[in-house]
Amino acid sequence: MRQIAVIGAGVIGVTSALEVQTKLGKSVTVTIFSDRFSPNTTGDVSAGLWTPYILQDTPMDNIIKWSKETYDYALKLWQDGEAEKAGISLQVMTELLDKPEEQIPEWVSLTLGHCILDANQIAAINRKYRANYCKGVTFTAFILEPQRLLPFLMEQFKKAGGKIIQRKINSFDELSSYDVIVNCTGLEAKQLTDDKLLQPVRGQIMRVEAPGQFHCIMEPETYIIPNMDCVILGGTHQENSWDLNVSKSDADGIAQRCRQFSPSLESSKLIKHMVGLRPGRSSVILRTEIRTLRDGKRIPIVHNYGHGGSGVTLSIGCATSARKLVEDALIGNFQNKISKL
Ligand SMILES: Cc1cc2nc3c(=O)[nH]c(=O)nc-3n(C[C@H](O)[C@H](O)[C@H](O)COP(=O)(O)OP(=O)(O)OC[C@H]3O[C@@H](n4cnc5c(N)ncnc54)[C@H](O)[C@@H]3O)c2cc1C
C-alpha cells in the first residue's frame, strides 16, 4: 500500500485528497494533515461562485480546462439530485464591465447558457443604476458553497478510506515516511516552501439575511451572491494586505454599493462580517518538485496552490491534474518535475 500525504483541508486539499483516494483505490491510503478544517478555511469565507477571478498570468487554457471540470462536476451533482446536500445551486449571474479595453471573458461559453448584453440593455442598466458600464454578460453560474461542500466531500473521503490528522506541518521533513506529498496549503505555502510569488489578496464580505434576493450581480467593485441560507455582499480585493480584522469603512462601502443595486437590502439583517486572504500568485502552481529531505530521501511533492480568487472554481479540475501527477510520481515518471520552485 502506497502512502500519500495531503497537507491542507481547504477546498483544494479536500478535493485533491478525495480524487486521489477514490481514483487510485485500494493501492493507496491518503492522509490529510491540516491545522484548520471547515468552517475555518479560506473557502468558508467565500460565496463559492463559479467564476475565474484574480488568476493573474495563469494560462487561459488551464483556466478553461480546470474550471470546466468543476462546472461539469457541479452540473452532474445538480442533475443527480445531490445539489442541496453538496451546497450547489444554479443561478443567473449578470457581470458588468466598466473598462472599454476589457473583453467579455472567454470562459462564459463553458456555461449552460450566456447572453452578451447589447447597447440598449447596457444603456438601460446605466440609467437604472446611474452608472457607466460599457459591456456586460449574463450567464448560468453554479454556486458551490464551501461551508456545505467541504463537509460533503470530507464524508466521501472518510468513506473511501481516507485518514485525517489535525496537525501543523512545519517542514516536509516530517513526512519522510510517505511516498508522495501533495501540498495544498494555500497562502501558507509561503512559509512551507518560501515561495516569494505568493501574496495575500484580502477580501471582506458581509453575510446577510435577505431571502427575497435571488439575482446574482457582479461588477468591478461589488457583488451580490445568494447562498442557500444567506446572501453574500462583497467585496474587497486588497493586494498585499495581511489584515484579518473587519474594517468598518470596508463594510460601510460594501453595504452602500450593494444597496444601489438592490435597495431592499437596506432592511436585510446582518449575520456577520467575514475576512479572508486569497492565495494570490502570478500563476496557479500545479507541478511536481523532487525534494531531498534532511534524511537524504528524495520525495515527490505535488504542489497545488495559489488559486487566487478562484479556488472553488478551479478545485475539481486541479484535483484531477494533481491526481495524475501523483500517479506519475508513484510510477517514477517525473515529466513535470522541477528541482526548485
Ligand atoms: C472574500 C473571498 C471571496 C471569495 N470568493 C470566491 C468565489 O466566489 N469563488 C471562488 O472560486 N473562490 C473564491 N474565493 C477564493 C477561494 O476562497 C480561495 O481561492 C480558496 O479558498 C483557496 O483554497 P485553498 O484550499 O488553496 O486554501 P485554504 O482554504 O486557505 O486552505 C489551506 C489549508 O491548508 C492548511 N494548512 C496551511 N499550512 C499548513 C501547514 N503548514 N500544516 C498543516 N496545515 C496547513 C490550512 O489549515 C487550510 O486547511 C474567495 C476568497 C475570499 C477571501
Predicted pLDDT at 333: 61
Q: Identify the residues whose C-beta falls under 6 Å from ligand 1.
A: 7-13, 33-36, 41-43, 45-49, 168-169, 184-188, 192, 203, 205, 235, 276, 278-279, 305, 307-313
Predicted pLDDT at 183: 98
Cα(221) to centroid(ligand 1), Å:
21
- Per the structure, the count of domains in the chain is 1
The residue that leads in pLDDT, 25 or 236, is 236
Mean pLDDT value across residues 248-277: 95
Task: Give the residue whose CA is nearest to atom 34 of ligand 1.
Answer: 8
Nearest atom in ligand 1 to 187's CA? 30
Sheet holding 180-183: strands in order across? Answer: 163-166, 28-34, 2-7, 180-183, 298-305, 285-292, 337-338
Longest dimension (CA), the chain: 68
242-255 pLDDT, tens digit per residue, is: 999 999 999 999 99
Nearest atom in ligand 1 to 308's CA? 19
- Is residue 335 pLDDT above 90, yes or no? no
Residue 214: pLDDT band (50, 70, 90) is: confident
The Cα 261–Cα 213 span in angstroms is 11
Residue 57: pLDDT band (50, 70, 90) is: very high
Across all residues in the chain, what is the average pLDDT? 95
Q: What percent of the chain has pLDDT over 70?
A: 97
- Is residue 100 pLDDT above 70, yes or no? yes
- Is residue 341 pLDDT above 50, yes or no? no
Q: Give pTM, 2 decimals.
A: 0.96
The Cα 213–Cα 159 span in angstroms is 37
Mean pLDDT value across residues 186-192: 97
Q: Which long-range contacts (CB under 8 A, 24 or more apart) does 128-132 make?
A: 129/260, 129/261, 131/96, 131/98, 131/219, 132/98
CATH number at residue 182: 3.40.50.720
Mean pLDDT value across residues 128-156: 96
Cα(218) to centroid(ligand 1), Å:
21
Cα(117) to centroid(ligand 1), Å:
33
Q: Give the Cβ contact number of residue 101 at 10 Å.
A: 6
Q: At what angle do helices 311-330 and 11-23 cross, to 10 degrees?
A: 40
Residue 133: strand, helix, or coil:
coil
Mean pLDDT value across residues 42-53: 96
**For residue 212, what are the domain limits?**
2-338
Nearest atom in ligand 1 to 14's CA? 25
The Cα 83–Cα 118 span in angstroms is 33
- Is residue 265 pLDDT above 50, yes or no? yes
169-188 pLDDT, tens digit per residue, is: 999 999 999 999 999 999 99
- Is residue 212 pLDDT above 80, yes or no? yes
